[in-house]
Structure 1
Amino acid sequence: MDICGNKRRKVSGGVRGCRRSGAGKMRRGACKVLRSLAVHDNNHTKDEEEDDDCFSISFLRSDRLDPAAALSPRYSLLREGGRGGYGGGDEELALAEFWALTSLENRHQNVVQLEECVLQRNGLAQKMSHGNKRSKQYLRLVETSLKGERILGYPEEPCYLWFIMEFCEGGDLNRYVLSRRPDPQTNRSFMRQLTSAVAFLHKNNIVHRDLKPDNILITQRSGSPVLKVADFGLSKVCAGLNSKTSEEHPAARADGRGSDQNDFVNINTFWLSSACGSDFYMAPEVWEGHYTAKADIFALGIIIWAMIERITFIDAESKRELLGTYIRQGTEIMPVGEALLENPKMVLHIPQKARSSMSEGVKKLLLDMLAVNPQDRPDASQLEMRVDQVTCAA
């Protein structure tokens, strides 16, 4: 998670120094661009406790690959598409992303698609699927591969888990918006797409917890730009949570009432307790480590506000210009959520720029999304309806 240190640094031109916390040394993860190949009958004999698909991966070389077991490759490597940073807890983050994306029964055009997840050992790969009841070893295989351990029964072969994701050639929201002239029509379209995606996730009991422009990807294969919410490493799947399985406050609810373990979980009234996210987009209650899904609404408000007015800061580590609103205090800047936590009565000046063309409807919506009290914010379904109203009116 991205959390700033306790000491605020003096900055100029909107630079703020942040650190990524987590055990272990920082590492870089490569993102490969793959091409799917036609797959012929592998003539694979299934064990009753194994998944259906077993195939080779042409870009993985193994000196121990048994020639007699060579199967048709499903993918070929084209090029490296990019790299991302992650900390020592990356196995838990990867498992969280796998769990979130595979728990979705339906697709949404504005949520990045996990095409498949494959477990590779001895040069061959086996398709993994969420909750496959035919495989008693399913979850253990995933966990051991994520943690770099060896599967019981294969002591000489390490295992690798590969995520085959939808490719978004347009980069992230930062690059797309800041490389083009301001376009109110595109802003309105992006507002509708983002709120639709978050409404879909919340309806499916998924709290993203790390919404930011870096985690919003773009594809233009259909002609017009389509947003894809991505990176579910910090997400929380709340489906099935009850009084015995909550994070740290089992019976606590945002409305103050108790919770029957058989009740349907309302993620807008279910408290989460792991303080995580990226500081410029974190709601006040996240800084305190006690929040609900309404924290996603706050983050979305920061993103939309920054996108409309093109408010940016320079990341001290990467030196990149990023979309994000903040509060300026002399030579220092601080995240809006942190500032509201310190001064809950602070009035946000929206719009920030004198020549802004922001409508009164959008202004009021952003103020509601960025309310200090999460109960004063609209939930995701209400937000989706209000965005449709204000964008149509414009």
Structure 2
Amino acid sequence: MEELYTLEREVGRGSYGVVFEGHMAKTRQRVAIKRLPCSSPECIELYLQELWAMRAMAKNHVNVIALHSCLLQTGPRSLKPLTPGKLPLRLVETVLKGSLVRASQSHERNDSQSNTRKRTNALSRLQDRTNAVQVRGKFQDKSKSNAPDSTPQRLQNRARKRLAQIEKGQPEPLRCLALWLVMEYCDGGDLNNYLLSRPPEAQRNHSVVKQLCSAVAFLHSLGITHRDLKPDNVLVCVTSKGPVVKVADFGLSKMSEALVDGDRTRQHFSSTCGSDFYMAPEVWGGLTYTAQADIFSLGVMFWAVLERITFLEEGTTQEQLGAYVCKGRSGWLMPLGEALWDNADLQLCIPMKFKRAPPLPPPPGPAMCRLLLDMLASNPDARPPADQLGTRVHFALKEDSQLTDRVLKRT
């Protein structure tokens, strides 16, 4: 690692990995380096989803985190750069089998047609992005049915084959200890920390909203549904012209290569995932859903950013941006998606003046409030698609600004 990158300090830690601040050894460029230990098939599946999505984006949008390179750790101090456009097949096989594939297991297969079929199925599975549980079960059965027997003759054949490989100078298959993703570094932290550590400012909030619109439109145009949009997964680069936000963390993302009714965003998913306070009603209800679930998550974020609405999640002390519904006399906070799933006719109160944290920014105007209600509609088809969202935000903010100017002139 030291020959390529220098690790300096840990900057974040989650359920699946650790993020370090570091530098490229040759250029001294500052980077973020995420270490993802390959400890279980479930974790590896998330890593490959993130890697596949980030490679598909190929550094093409200023508001989406850029992936510089990916390395496979094969020993305590050995790293192997991964070839662009290819997935580490050992890890793909681990996901398909539902158990960690070791080097010795790899030698047990000598049917080239079977290997080719398994690799094709692996790539198809990672690209198609359908129900992970059902697909894993299907491929596990196939792996079991193709498992080699343990007869003495087979063992002798494997031993002779291994000896032949050694004599020909072919290396032993590499172990997969961890994936290291090298990404651009964001010095402003996540969106929660960045906005809540500063006084509210309408112009800054509007800039953040517009940039997020652009990022999600880009992702959806590539057939990428993020499925876990929230302030924690939006990073900020501080510049002289203001904050530049970067959508990050694609571990739960899904990709769709096929067009459905001429639109990639119509691909349906069924795995319930995301973060409670940002999940859409259809996800809460366990229904199949489309990329429009991202629009609902974005609506929750926009509402919270524009009004500076915050909450404390149970068991935490860190204030977070997010809108919600108060239930009962105790003021229990209920996620919007859950509340709308329980009652699709629930009338949301926008703006939410009495629930905002001081100091308070100006509340969103009537045009922006109408757009927020559309984004938070119970019916996914009533929400604006991502490719129209940027235009609608632009005109809503412009209309509200003109209304404010007229009111000021009268006074």
* SS state at 1:89 partner: helix
For the 8 Å contact 1:207–1:237, the answer to whether it is kept is yes
Question: Compared with structure 1, are the counterparts of its residues 149 and 87 closer, same or farther at alpha carbon in structure 2 (3 Å cutoff)?
Answer: closer
Question: Compared with structure 1, are the counterparts of its residues 351 and 80 closer, same or farther at alpha carbon in structure 2 (3 Å cutoff)?
Answer: same
* SS state at 2:377 partner: coil
Q: Which residue of 2 aligns with 1:117?
A: 70
Q: Which residue of 1 aligns with 2:292?
A: 294
Write the distance in 2 (CA, Å) between the matches of 1:199 and 1:154.
44
Write the distance in 1 (CA, Å) between the matches of 2:35 and 2:72.
22
For the 8 Å contact 1:195–1:380, the answer to whether it is kept is yes
Q: Which runs of 5+ in 1 are unaligned?
A: 1-25, 40-74, 133-137, 243-258
TM norm structure 1: 0.70
Cα offsets for 1:238-295 (capped at 9, x unmatched): 12x37xxxxxxxxxxxxxxxx6xxx75x233221111111110011111123111000
Query: Which residue type is aligned with residue 324 of structure 2?
Result: Y
Q: Pick one of 25, 35, 38 that aligns with 1:37.
A: 25
Write the distance in 2 (CA, Å) between the matches of 1:352 and 1:391.
18
Write the distance in 1 (CA, Å) between the matches of 2:380 and 2:29.
47
Cα offsets for 1:33-86 (capped at 9, x unmatched): 1200228xxxxxxxxxxxxxxxxxxxxxxxxxxxxxxxxxxx899999999xx9
Question: Compared with structure 1, are the counterparts of its residues 81 and 271 closer, same or farther at alpha carbon in structure 2 (3 Å cutoff)?
Answer: closer
Write the distance in 2 (CA, Å) between the matches of 1:295 and 1:117.
29
Q: Pick one of 209, 228, 251 that aligns with 2:227.
A: 209
Write the distance in 2 (CA, Å) between the matches of 1:79 and 1:379.
32
Query: Which residue type is aligned with residue 366 of structure 2?
Result: E
Q: Which residue of 1 aligns with 2:348?
A: 348
Q: Map 1:143-292 onto structure 2 (within 5 A).
A: 143=92, 149-151=101-103, 152=106, 154=172, 158-221=176-239, 223-239=241-257, 241=258, 264=262, 266-289=263-286, 290-292=288-290
Write the distance in 2 (CA, Å) between the matches of 1:79 and 1:293.
28
Q: Which residue of 2 aligns with 1:128?
A: 82
For the 8 Å contact 1:312–1:323, the answer to whether it is kept is yes
Question: Compared with structure 1, are the counterparts of its residues 144 and 36 closer, same or farther at alpha carbon in structure 2 (3 Å cutoff)?
Answer: farther
Query: Which residue type is aligned with residue 94 of structure 1?
Result: Y
Query: Which residue type is aligned with residue 318 of structure 2?
Result: R
* SS state at 1:103 partner: helix
Query: Which residue type is aligned with residue 177 of structure 2?
Result: C
For the 8 Å contact 2:304–2:322, the answer to whether it is kept is yes
Query: Which residue type is aligned with residue 296 of structure 1?
Result: D
**1:177 Cα deviation from its structure 2 partner:** 1.1
Q: Which residue of 1 aligns with 2:125?
A: none
For the 8 Å contact 1:27–1:87, the answer to whether it is kept is no
Matched length: 307
Q: Which runs of 5+ in 2 are unaligned?
A: 1-13, 107-170, 355-359, 402-411
* SS state at 2:182 partner: strand
For the 8 Å contact 1:207–1:235, the answer to whether it is kept is yes
Q: Which residue of 2 aligns with 1:324?
A: 322
* SS state at 1:316 partner: coil
Query: Which residue type is aligned with residue 209 of structure 1?
Result: R
Cα offsets for 1:189-222 (capped at 9, x unmatched): 0010000000000011100000001001111145
**1:317 Cα deviation from its structure 2 partner:** 2.9
Cα offsets for 1:113-171 (capped at 9, x unmatched): 11111123244433224534xxxxx4414436898654455468553321111111111
Query: Which residue type is aligned with residue 294 of structure 2?
Result: D
Question: Compared with structure 1, are the counterparts of its residues 387 and 82 closer, same or farther at alpha carbon in structure 2 (3 Å cutoff)?
Answer: farther
**1:336 Cα deviation from its structure 2 partner:** 0.6
Q: Which residue of 1 aligns with 2:115?
A: none
For the 8 Å contact 1:297–1:379, the answer to whether it is kept is yes
Q: Which residue of 2 aligns with 1:94?
A: 47
Identity of aligned residues (%): 42
**1:342 Cα deviation from its structure 2 partner:** 0.6
For the 8 Å contact 1:103–1:130, the answer to whether it is kept is no
For the 8 Å contact 1:145–1:160, the answer to whether it is kept is no
For the 8 Å contact 1:145–1:161, the answer to whether it is kept is no
Q: Map 1:40-55 onto structure 2 (within 5 A).
A: none
Q: Pick one of 356, 365, 373 that aligns with 1:359.
A: 365
Query: Which residue type is aligned with residue 394 of structure 2?
Result: D
Larger radius of gyration: 2
Write the distance in 2 (CA, Å) between the matches of 1:156 and 1:94.
18
Question: Compared with structure 1, are the counterparts of its residues 79 and 292 closer, same or farther at alpha carbon in structure 2 (3 Å cutoff)?
Answer: closer
**1:91 Cα deviation from its structure 2 partner:** 1.6
* SS state at 2:367 partner: helix
Write the distance in 1 (CA, Å) between the matches of 2:321 and 2:352.
14
Write the distance in 2 (CA, Å) between the matches of 1:282 and 1:97.
19
For the 8 Å contact 2:223–2:265, the answer to whether it is kept is no
**1:179 Cα deviation from its structure 2 partner:** 1.0
Which has a greater percent of helix? 2
Q: Pick one of 377, 384, 388 that aligns with 2:394.
A: 388
Write the distance in 2 (CA, Å) between the matches of 1:89 and 1:28.
10
* SS state at 1:131 partner: coil
Q: Which residue of 2 aligns with 1:44?
A: none
**1:328 Cα deviation from its structure 2 partner:** 0.5
Query: Which residue type is aligned with residue 352 of structure 1?
Result: M
